[in-house]
């Protein structure tokens, strides 16, 4: 038995297997959807091997064209295979039986629905991503684009099939796909000129004749055609907030006044994740065109074997002349049984581009996740001018935990303003808590940090009363709330700078201790007042130096004592005044030397006493004058000598007085009396 012996509808099973007939054929195809072929086949082999059929590439040929000399191809991979009944039931055992099998065929692109992954893409477009995934499956593809899709800084496939992932990206970019089954290619386009005409015939006449005889070849026609318009939205507004251009309003509005679109009906879509108003305008325009494409649709029936979704036809001979135009077939449902071929189709006018409806769900991340902060090899801290970090999620199997593991991700802080706030930078290797704006995996935000076994907390259970802010270098602020031992501990691993723009007040209820390992320096712009209610002790192990630019005053309420272990030097630039309200005692254990550059004056309101235990020497460079307003007494215990040049007077304790001089004159303005027991004159 050959396939041609019983094939009355000019459809042939070419592979896999031999001597197989097609009983029924059903094809469902739609733009931006996976086509499905279901067929019943007949073979005289009662045991076609499932392993030989499943996943094999199937090929079916349908004869078409005016003379049925052209071939239309259907094919794909067999995704379902089942064995059913015998063809005609039980007959005479001597009759040769044939056996029925059910086959389901999908395009190779269908395999993408069977693979679910989560992975990260960066700096690529939807076209780049789609080509990469199709390349992994060896799927041929061809692109005919007007405007190219924008580059995405960060794009995540998250717990979704490869097919759902590329579908939602293509839908967002207004790119549709359909199939060239003859070449085994997936065709992608975002413009009407990217849709070729049906082959071999791109023209179909309208004829309502539904007579039961089979029509094929030149007699093929559209037997039913219904055109509809639906009320639809005519105003589309998109909005997104880009924190890198926070001052710019990225809201974009697009209106379409063509009926049946109504501009008083609005569709507002926010958080669309675009960078500037130019991209926003593109998305608003695509939304407008999507609505326009669904507002005017036709559906009908035909027996035209050339009809294929994603391709165009030109209708002729319709009684409504407006319909005699070029149409894009958006879906086709083909059935073939017992020689009868029928096609139910939907179509849209070709004056506007087709936009696939955005119906593929966008994945949502519910709740939070954790990730590891990453950076270049060997780096400990990696951030940019906005304090952002890069990270790798635990589910990311392809990331290398480096500076290319993610985009720059913002880090939440408790306080954030222009050039002020809290900035606590996650270090490479830290585990952070990540949330996602509106659950969008493309919009991560670091909102917290957590410890793990390799990064344990600085305080353990034994320090349960303590709380700490501590850096890797042990700069820390520690709070201890243990009863009776409450404490705040502040530590700087190296330097510590404190700036107070105005006043600084510190109140210590008990003791205060300051320990400085090396130097201590204080600079005070104006006054300094230190009040010590009790005692004040200062101890300087080495030198002590005070410099006062202007006045210096010490006031001691009671006693003041100064002890100098070695020398004591007092240097006064100008005058020195010492006022002592009562007595003053100066005791020098050894010598006392006073050197006065100019005059010396000692004034006593009462008595002046100088007591020298040994010798006293008074040396005057010039004159010396002793003036007493009343009496003057010089009391020498042994001998007094007064000498001026060669003249000399010596007075001894025995009463002798000797005056020696070259010339002695005694002159009195009154009497001169000389008395003695004996007076000798030379």
pTM above 0.85, yes or no: no
The DSSP letter of residue 586 is -
Do the domain assignments include residue 613? Answer: no
- How far is the C-alpha of 98 from the C-alpha of 118, rounded, in Å? 47
Cα-based distances in Å from 61 to 7, 9, 69: 12, 11, 11
Q: Is 669 helix (H, G, I), strand (E, B) or coil?
A: coil
**Helix 126-137 and helix 162-173: axis angle, to 10°?**
150
In this structure, are residues 303 and 224 in contact, taking their beta carbons and an 8 Å threshold?
no
The domain that contains 444 carries what CATH number?
A: 2.40.50.230
Q: Which domain holds residue 273?
A: 203-349
Supply 155's token pair: 């794009």
- How far is the C-alpha of 570 from the C-alpha of 531, rounded, in Å? 27
Mean pLDDT of the 268-295 span? 90
Condensed to tens digits (0 to 9), the pLDDT of residues 162-207 reads 999 999 999 999 999 999 998 999 999 999 999 999 999 999 999 9
φ, ψ at 473 (rounded to 5°)? -90, 10
Q: DSSP 3-state helix, strand, coil percentages of the chain (rounded to 5)?
A: 10, 35, 55
Q: Residue for token digits 């996943």?
A: 55
218 and 341 part of one domain: yes
315 and 211 part of one domain: yes
Do the domain assignments include residue 92? Answer: yes
Q: What is the pLDDT of residue 432?
A: 98
In this structure, are residues 303 and 342 in contact, taking their beta carbons and an 8 Å threshold?
yes
Condensed to tens digits (0 to 9), the pLDDT of residues 440-456 reads 999 999 999 999 999 99
- How far is the C-alpha of 443 from the C-alpha of 205, rounded, in Å? 52
Q: Which residue has the higher pLDDT, 28 or 648?
A: 28
Do the domain assignments include residue 554? Answer: no
Residue 256, phi-psi category: left (phi > 0), alpha (psi -120 to 50), beta (remainder): beta
Do the domain assignments include residue 424? Answer: yes
345 and 275 part of one domain: yes
Q: What is the pLDDT of residue 661?
A: 86
214 confidence band (pLDDT: 50, 70, 90): low
Q: What is the pLDDT of residue 2?
A: 41
237 and 334 part of one domain: yes
160 confidence band (pLDDT: 50, 70, 90): very high
Q: What is the pLDDT of residue 199?
A: 94
Cα-based distances in Å from 417 to 240, 385, 412, 421: 21, 14, 12, 6
Name residues whose C-beta falls within 8 Å of residue 204's C-beta, 6 or more positions apart in sequence: 220, 221, 222, 302, 304, 306, 307, 313, 314, 315, 316
Mean pLDDT of the 572-595 span? 77
256 and 237 part of one domain: yes
Count CB-CB contacts under 10 A for residue 420.
8
Percent over 70 (pLDDT), the chain: 96
Comparing CA positions, the residue from 560, 508, 506 lying closest to residue 536 is 560
Name residues whose C-beta falls within 8 Å of residue 229's C-beta, 6 or more positions apart in sequence: 259, 260, 295, 296
Q: What is the pLDDT of residue 13?
A: 96
Q: Residue for token digits 């039913």?
A: 224
Condensed to tens digits (0 to 9), the pLDDT of residues 372-422 reads 999 999 999 999 999 999 999 999 999 999 999 999 999 999 999 999 999
Q: Is 173 helix (H, G, I), strand (E, B) or coil?
A: helix
Q: What sign results for the dihedral spanned by CA atoms 554, 555, 556, 560?
A: positive
659, containing H or E segment: strand 657-660
Do the domain assignments include residue 327? Answer: yes
Q: For residue 381, how far is the Cα from the chain centroid?
A: 13
Residue 128 half-sphere exposure toward CB, CA atoms < 13 A = 12
Supply 376's token pair: 């270049």
Q: Which of 129, 161, 190 is the last residue of a domain?
A: 190
The domain that contains 170 carries what CATH number?
A: 3.55.50.10
Q: Which residue has the higher pLDDT, 37 or 545?
A: 37
470 and 418 part of one domain: no
Comparing CA positions, the residue from 177, 191, 40 lying closest to residue 112 is 177
183 and 272 part of one domain: no
Q: Which residue has the higher pLDDT, 150 or 596?
A: 150
128 and 84 part of one domain: no
Structural domain total, the chain: 5
176 and 290 part of one domain: no
Q: What is the pLDDT of residue 674?
A: 79
Do the domain assignments include residue 651? Answer: no
337 and 378 part of one domain: no
Q: Which of 190, 225, 240 is the last residue of a domain?
A: 190
Condensed to tens digits (0 to 9), the pLDDT of residues 507-543 reads 999 999 999 999 988 888 898 888 888 888 888 888 8
The domain that contains 64 carries what CATH number?
A: 2.30.110.50
> Across 309-318, 564-573, 662-671, which has the greatest mean pLDDT?
309-318
Supply 280's token pair: 């926003």
Do the domain assignments include residue 579? Answer: no
Q: Residue for token digits 């200062």?
A: 538
- How far is the C-alpha of 33 from the C-alpha of 94, rounded, in Å? 48
Q: What is the pLDDT of residue 359?
A: 96
Q: Which of 190, 219, 241 is the last residue of a domain?
A: 190
Q: For residue 602, how far is the Cα from the chain centroid?
A: 83
Rounded (10°) CA dihedral 248, 251, 256, 262: -150
373 and 442 part of one domain: yes
Condensed to tens digits (0 to 9), the pLDDT of residues 310-342 reads 999 999 999 999 999 999 999 999 999 877 899
Secondary structure in 3-state letters for 364-428: CCCCCEEEEEECCCCCCCCCCCCCCEEEEECCCCCCCCCCCCCCCECECCCCEECCEECCCCCCC
305 and 211 part of one domain: yes
Do the domain assignments include residue 665? Answer: no
Comparing CA positions, the residue from 263, 330, 264, 339 lying closest to residue 293 is 330
């Amino acid at each position: 038995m050959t396939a041609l012996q019983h094939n009355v509808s000019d459809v042939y099973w070419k592979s896999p297997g031999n001597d197989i007939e097609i009983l029924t054929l059903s094809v469902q195809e739609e733009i931006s959807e996976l086509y499905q072929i279901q067929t019943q086949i007949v073979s005289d082999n009662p045991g076609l091997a499932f392993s030989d059929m499943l996943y094999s590439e199937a090929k079916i040929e349908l004869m078409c064209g005016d003379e049925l000399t052209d071939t239309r191809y259907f094919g794909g991979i067999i995704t379902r295979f089942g064995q059913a009944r015998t063809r005609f039931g039980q007959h005479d055992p001597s009759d040769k039986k044939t056996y029925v099998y059910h086959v389901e065929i999908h395009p190779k692109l269908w395999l993408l629905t069977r693979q679910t992954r989560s992975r990260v893409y960066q700096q690529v477009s939807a076209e780049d991503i789609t080509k990469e995934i199709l390349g992994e499956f060896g799927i041929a593809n061809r692109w005919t684009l007007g405007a190219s899709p924008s580059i995405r800084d960060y794009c995540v496939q998250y717990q979704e099939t490869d097919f759902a992932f590329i579908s939602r990206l293509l839908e967002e970019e207004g790119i549709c796909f359909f199939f060239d089954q003859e070449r085994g290619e997936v065709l992608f386009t975002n413009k009407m000129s990217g849709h070729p005409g049906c082959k071999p015939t791109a023209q179909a006449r309208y004829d309502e004749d539904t007579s039961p005889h089979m029509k094929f070849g030149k007699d093929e026609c559209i037997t039913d055609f219904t055109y509809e318009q639906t009320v639809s939205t005519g105003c589309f507004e998109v909005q997104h907030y880009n924190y890198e251009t926070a001052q710019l309003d990225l809201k974009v509005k697009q209106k379409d006044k063509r009926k049946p679109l109504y501009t008083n009906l609005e569709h507002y879509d926010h958080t669309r994740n675009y960078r500037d108003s130019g991209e926003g305008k593109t998305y608003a325009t695509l939304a407008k065109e999507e609505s326009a494409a669904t507002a005017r649709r036709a559906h009908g029936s035909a027996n035209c074997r050339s009809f294929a979704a994603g391709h165009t036809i030109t209708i002729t001979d319709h009684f409504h002349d407006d319909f005699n135009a070029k149409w894009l077939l958006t879906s086709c449902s083909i059935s073939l049984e017992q020689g009868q071929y029928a096609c139910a189709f939907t179509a849209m006018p070709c004056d506007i581009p087709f936009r696939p409806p955005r119906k593929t769900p966008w994945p949502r991340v519910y709740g939070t996740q954790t990730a590891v902060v990453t950076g270049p090899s060997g780096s400990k801290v990696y951030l940019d001018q906005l304090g952002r970090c890069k990270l790798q999620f635990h589910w990311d199997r392809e990331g290398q935990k480096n500076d290319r593991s993610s985009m720059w991700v913002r880090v939440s802080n408790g306080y954030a303003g222009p050039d002020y706030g809290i900035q606590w930078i996650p270090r490479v290797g830290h585990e952070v808590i990540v949330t996602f704006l509106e659950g969008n995996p493309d919009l991560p935000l670091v909102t917290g940090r957590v410890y793990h076994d390799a990064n344990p907390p600085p305080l353990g259970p034994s320090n349960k009363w303590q709380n700490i802010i501590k850096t890797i270098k042990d700069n820390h602020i520690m709070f201890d709330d243990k009863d009776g031992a409450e404490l705040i501990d502040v530590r700087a691993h190296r330097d510590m700078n404190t700036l107070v723009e105005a006043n600084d007040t510190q109140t210590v209820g008990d003791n205060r201790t300051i320990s400085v390992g090396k130097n201590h320096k204080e600079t005070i712009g104006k006054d300094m007042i230190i009040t010590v209610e009790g005692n004040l002790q200062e101890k300087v192990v080495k030198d002590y130096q005070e410099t006062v630019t202007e006045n210096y005053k010490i006031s001691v309420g009671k006693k003041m004592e100064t002890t100098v272990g070695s020398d004591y030097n007092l240097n006064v630039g100008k005058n020195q005044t010492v006022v002592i309200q009562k007595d003053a005692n100066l005791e020098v254990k050894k010598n006392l030397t006073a050197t006065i550059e100019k005059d010396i004056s000692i004034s006593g309101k009462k008595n002046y006493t100088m007591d020298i235990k040994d010798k006293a020497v008074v040396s005057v460079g010039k004159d010396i004058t002793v003036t007493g307003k009343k009496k003057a007494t010089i009391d020498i215990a042994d001998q007094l000598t007064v000498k001026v040049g060669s003249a000399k007077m010596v007075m001894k304790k025995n009463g002798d007085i000797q005056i020696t001089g070259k010339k002695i004159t005694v002159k009195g303005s009154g009497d001169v009396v000389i008395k003695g027991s004996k007076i000798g004159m030379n």
